[in-house]
């Protein structure tokens, strides 16, 4: 597929990096299919990250992701999922490559600036979590 889903997480929003992150995403050749600013309730954040329910960091993750405003977006580019994950870098910013979005803007392993879908299937599920079919054009 040529689509992926991203969120600019509460740390990057609070630290004033949203503009720079969106600028970088566009400069890397992604088209913004859909975009909104919103805030997740703890319940919604828990639902979004349900796959991590049994992990020790789940509570922390849900509390962080519902702690502030986020930007959610569907992005389009050839090979979108893999290409976007390369652009954001490793989950832990300490291990992320120079120049990646997490290296530049993340705070810590838990507060790592951006989300990127890990498969075409999850990209479609996650995009539809935030956007109706009519909003995805």
| Contact residue for ligand GTP among 1, 91, 128, 136 (CB under 6 A) | 91
From the list Mg ion, ligand GTP, none, which binds 61 (C-beta under 5 to 8 Å, kind-based)?
ligand GTP
The verdict on whether 52 is a catalytic residue reads: no
71: three-class secondary structure by DSSP: strand
Is 100 marked within a binding site?
no
From the list Mg ion, ligand GTP, none, which binds 110 (C-beta under 5 to 8 Å, kind-based)?
ligand GTP
Instruction: For the segment 92-131, give every residue that binds Mg ion (CB under 5 A).
Output: 118
Q: Are 3 and 123 in contact (CB under 8 A)?
A: yes
Q: Are 112 and 9 in contact (CB under 8 A)?
A: yes
Helix (H) or strand (E) holding 7: strand 3-8
Which residues pair with residue 36 across a beta bridge? 72
110 belongs to the binding site for ligand GTP (CB under 6 A): yes
109 belongs to the binding site for ligand GTP (CB under 6 A): yes
Across 9-130, where does the E strand assignment appear? 31-39, 69-76, 114-116
Is 85 marked within a binding site?
yes
Interface map 49-78 toward ligand GTP (x if CB under 6 A):
---x----x--xx-----------------
Where does this chain bind Mg ion (CB under 5 A)?
118
């Amino acid at each position: 597929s040529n689509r992926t889903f991203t969120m600019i997480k509460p740390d990057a929003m609070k630290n004033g990096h949203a503009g720079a992150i969106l600028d970088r995403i566009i400069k890397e050749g992604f088209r913004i299919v859909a975009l909104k600013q919103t805030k997740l309730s703890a319940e919604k954040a828990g639902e979004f990250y349900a796959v991590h329910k049994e992990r020790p960091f789940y509570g922390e993750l849900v509390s962080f992701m519902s702690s502030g405003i986020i930007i959610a977006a569907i992005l389009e580019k050839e090979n979108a999922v893999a290409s976007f994950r390369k652009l954001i870098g490793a989950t832990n910013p300490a291990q992320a490559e120079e120049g990646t979005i997490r290296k530049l803007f993340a705070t810590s392993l838990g507060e790592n600036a951006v989300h990127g879908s890990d498969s075409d299937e999850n990209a479609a599920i996650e995009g539809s979590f935030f956007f109706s079919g009519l909003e995805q054009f």
